[in-house]
């Protein structure tokens, strides 16, 4: 188990007292906190908290924790971040996360720890697959994935019961869609690539519920929160 996984277990509750207890346990178990601190600083530098970053340049992991707990939205665009650091899971109160045009090739399994996440934008990256932990995002309503290299969707996504909007446009290698898409109880909008599906649903999705609005081409990046 990695240091970030151990730390997330210790910080399973958002209560400040448990954060402090988790920190003490982490230190007692000799978990190296400095790499985690550097990962947090990197994300803060790239995200919307950039104007306030100067005060955290010399901050320790302990000093960074209160800031992480106050961030509800993070947007990173047009930087170079091939892999999202696993430490993203420390931002337990994130409701909106935008990671556009970063050249992302992989996402960490720790992404599933963001239990407060309502909207996730991943357009214009190089993702070939999504982590199995996606299914743990029980509150996620909007998932934007246009212009990636997806080959398939993880089976765990069938348990994303709150999902309302799913944008899969401009994924030229996503040649098949799973039947469970039709079973998502709150799905309202599904965007697909017309060049792949020729403006018609695959045979296994002809029973898509009438409540689902089908769109050909990417959606607006406006989030529904």
Place of tokens 């993070």: 74
User: What are the CA-CA distances from residue 102 to residues 78, 134, 135, 164 (Å)?
Assistant: 5, 19, 23, 25
- Sheet strands (E) in the chain: 73-77, 96-100, 119-121, 142-144, 165-167, 189-192, 213-216
Q: Which domains does the chain have, with CATH numbers?
A: 1-71 (no CATH), 72-225 (3.80.10.10)
- Specify whether the CB–CB gap between 98 and 121 falls below 8 A: yes
In tens, the pLDDT along 57-93 reads 788 888 888 778 888 999 988 788 888 988 898 898 8
What's the DSSP call for residue 78? S
What's the DSSP call for residue 76? E
Per-residue pLDDT of the chain in tens (225 residues, 90 and over written 9): 677 777 766 665 555 566 677 777 777 777 788 888 888 888 888 876 555 667 777 888 888 887 788 889 999 887 888 889 888 988 988 999 999 999 999 999 999 989 999 999 999 999 999 999 999 999 999 999 999 999 999 999 999 999 999 999 999 999 999 999 999 999 999 999 999 999 999 989 988 999 999 999 999 755 443
Phi-psi label, residue 124: left if phi above 0, alpha if psi -120 to 50, beta otherwise? left
pLDDT of the residue at 39: 87
């Amino acid at each position: 188990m990695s240091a970030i996984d151990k730390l997330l277990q210790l910080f399973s509750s958002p209560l400040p007292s448990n954060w402090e207890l988790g920190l003490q346990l982490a230190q007692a178990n000799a978990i190296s906190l400095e790499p985690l601190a550097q990962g947090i600083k990197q994300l803060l530098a790239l995200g919307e908290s950039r104007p306030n970053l100067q005060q955290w340049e010399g901050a320790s992991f302990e000093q960074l924790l209160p800031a992480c707990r106050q961030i509800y939205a993070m947007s990173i665009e047009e930087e170079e971040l091939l892999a999202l650091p696993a430490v993203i899971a420390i931002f337990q109160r994130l409701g909106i996360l935008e990671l556009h045009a970063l050249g992302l090739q992989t996402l960490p399994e720790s992404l599933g720890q963001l239990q407060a996440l309502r909207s996730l934008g991943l357009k214009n990256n190089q993702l070939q697959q999504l982590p199995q932990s996606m299914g743990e995002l029980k509150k996620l309503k909007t998932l934007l994935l246009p212009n990636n290299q997806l080959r398939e969707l993880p089976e765990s996504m069938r348990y994303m019961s709150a999902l309302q909007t799913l944008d899969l446009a401009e994924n030229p290698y996503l040649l098949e869609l799973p039947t469970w898409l039709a079973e998502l109880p709150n799905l309202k909008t599904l965007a697909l690539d017309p060049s792949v599906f020729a403006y018609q649903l695959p045979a296994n999705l002809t029973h898509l519920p009438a409540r689902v609005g089908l769109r050909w081409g990417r959606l607006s990046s406006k989030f529904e929160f």
